[in-house]
């Protein structure tokens, strides 16, 4: 075997070895037949040295080459199926590199609105929080909340309350908040997303509902329209 061929084969072995391990740290995530929990994250506009819309899986970030506009919602919980794209993504002043992925399937991963049963409504956990804003997008209600904590996982649920005495009774929704006796007082802000499909009424294409605000508020946070 000539020296040139030996050198060429050695170089190819190095290239192949590097290529096989390029995404070795992420191999546990890639499985086209498995739904992977993830978040859609906005890391700033690329024209001002941000990285644009990214997918967060665990503590890792990936650039989705084909993320559709309807899923470009800040801090959107999703489940995805995907494959790796061969071209790395570079962004920002530092030119930081991220693996690129191609999404084959994506669904929003949001809990359903729950219906409170008799005698259950007054027992819902109502630890303190502040509701900052809320809006409807498609089948989903997005609610931005703030609360004290930082040491334990807090649980929020969105409940449809029992009908009141008005005729006809309005649809009322309320957040419950279980702080799990969190002893810390860091100020946390986050978006919550809930599926409103349980509010659908047969032969209708829209529903108006009232949203209750923070536990200490006696007034409603607002009136919202859900079209479907």
pLDDT tens across 179-227, in order?
A: 999 999 999 998 899 999 999 999 999 999 999 876 666 678 999 999 9
Judge whether residue 85 has pLDDT over 90: yes
Judge whether residue 37 has pLDDT over 80: yes
pTM of the model: 0.69
Spell out the residues 6+ positions from residue 24 whose beta carbon is closer than 8 angstroms to its own: none
Instruction: State pLDDT tens for residues 130-143.
Output: 999 999 988 999 99
Judge whether residue 28 has pLDDT over 60: no
Q: Which CATH number fits domain 114-227: 3.30.1490.190, 3.30.499.10, 2.60.120.10, 2.60.40.2370?
A: 2.60.40.2370
**Spatial contact of 188 and 128, defined as CB atoms under 8 Å apart:** no
Check residue 138 and give left, alpha or beta (phi > 0: left; psi -120 to 50: alpha): left
Q: How much of the chain exceeds pLDDT 90, in percent?
A: 65
Q: Which residue has the higher pLDDT, 200 or 164?
A: 200
5 φ, ψ (degrees, to nearest 5): -65, -40
pLDDT at residue 169, as a whole number: 87
Listed by start position, the domains of the chain span 25-108, 114-227
């Amino acid at each position: 075997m000539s020296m040139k061929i030996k050198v060429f084969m050695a170089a190819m072995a190095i290239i192949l070895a590097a290529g096989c391990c390029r995404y070795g740290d992420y191999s546990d995530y890639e499985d086209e037949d498995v739904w992977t929990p993830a978040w859609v994250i906005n890391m700033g506009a690329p024209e001002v040295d941000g990285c644009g819309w990214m997918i967060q899986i665990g503590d890792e970030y990936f650039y989705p080459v084909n993320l559709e506009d309807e899923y470009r919602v800040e801090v959107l919980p999703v489940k995805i199926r995907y494959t790796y794209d061969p071209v790395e993504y570079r962004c920002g002043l530092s030119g930081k590199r991220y693996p690129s992925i191609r999404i084959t399937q994506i669904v929003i991963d949001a809990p359903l609105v729950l219906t409170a049963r008799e005698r259950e409504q007054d027992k819902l956990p109502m630890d303190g929080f502040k509701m900052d804003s809320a809006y409807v997008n498609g089948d989903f209600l997005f609610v931005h909340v703030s609360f004290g904590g930082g040491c334990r996982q807090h649980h929020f649920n969105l409940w449809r309350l029992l009908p009141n005495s008005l005729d006809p009774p309005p649809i009322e929704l309320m957040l419950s908040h279980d702080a799990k006796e969190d002893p810390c007082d860091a100020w946390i802000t986050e978006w919550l997303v809930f599926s409103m499909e349980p509010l659908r009424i047969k032969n209708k294409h829209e529903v108006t509902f009232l949203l209750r605000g923070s536990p200490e508020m006696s007034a409603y946070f607002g009136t919202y329209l859900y079209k479907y």
